[in-house]
A and B are shown apart, each in its own frame.
Chain A
């Protein structure tokens, strides 16, 4: 846990900086690997940039819709840079819808566009895990494994670090998948495996979390969300790889 680094009078919020760095690094990597995904750097760069802008606007818009009273009392907060006033689901939905429209306008398939931004998503996933590690959130259940870390009065699984290491492994797999991508590979060649790996990793680490949200029957909310995504990703992976490629 390292929420702030103090450099003289300067206080650096490590979690936020980690996340912002991962966004920048992911952006650069997606640009560089665009040709491996069969798209031009310009298309990926513009598409991703505007998707991020639309995502932020949609995230704020959705948040305002959720809490209209708070913004009626303080209208200027609409322009606040506070990331706490963003709705992540709304942001992702906005960005995905925009990317779909962008791909259509450029005459590309949506799944090809998703392939091209997969390196960005893979890097951001590593950043998100490190963000949690720095914040001290996403900590593990008490455990006696030799590598357990002492946190909040107990030896615990370093769950956020498991996630970061596995996410880094997924990034390597994404790089390999892009390198080995056949010239006429169908759209989704990189994205669906990435989604399946990520959902699988999330299911694993969620099961070791000590700060998970749980339903009345003890099922973890993260599992309820990740399992259908894993099933969808595996189904799509099977479908495009063996139907479209096979034909």
Chain B
């Protein structure tokens, strides 16, 4: 009896580890194949390029992984990413000092997080529908602001310091990458060491029990939405600064990349379990695969198809691992 128990329980604890191992394997494989196919893959320029794409997914993913573990979703991140970038450009162009514009654009992200949280927690609207709604609001706003500016993107007439944040180098590495990775580290700490972790796992695992245990279920979910919004705002601002323009089109499919990275990393779509490191690995895989296909001049359209397949495949893989 005792031996039997040990065996059974050992299995489940190992599920995530197996998943992480598989992910590392896939990552190594992807990198090896990529390097073999195109030597350019490992070049400095390309690595910085990939890391920039991946860093944005990871940044939003750092908070979104907790949100998904708590059993909620955010589909609006892609459009919020676009909107905050456009707003950053628009504000600094129209006389607001760049540092202030920078902070304000991040706060716009927080504001959308707050709105999502209020809709889901306060008005009890299903997360999918609520964030689908705010997604369209953000998209509309991004296009309107760009249109008011007089074009498809906010590009011309930006102050000189607009690009400072995205272009400053520290040795061979862009400053913003260091800051983003520092933020990701902070969130890893939040994920691994703070009560937020406890709350998220408890709420996603059993909301009723969480409430009966006296946890502030609504407050935690609201806070997580605000964190996701804030980080997305930061990512949007960074991207705009790096590219030197605010474009309402940058965020298309971003929410999907984030969700795929998180699900690929072993987080259940029903909440209650998940892994930060898995999300990091998932983001790297998504980023590297996309990048290699780009380098090989495989059209970007295959990537969307591929990502759809990866998502479904990841869900099935998780189920397989769990049911064994």
> Does A associate with B in a complex?
no
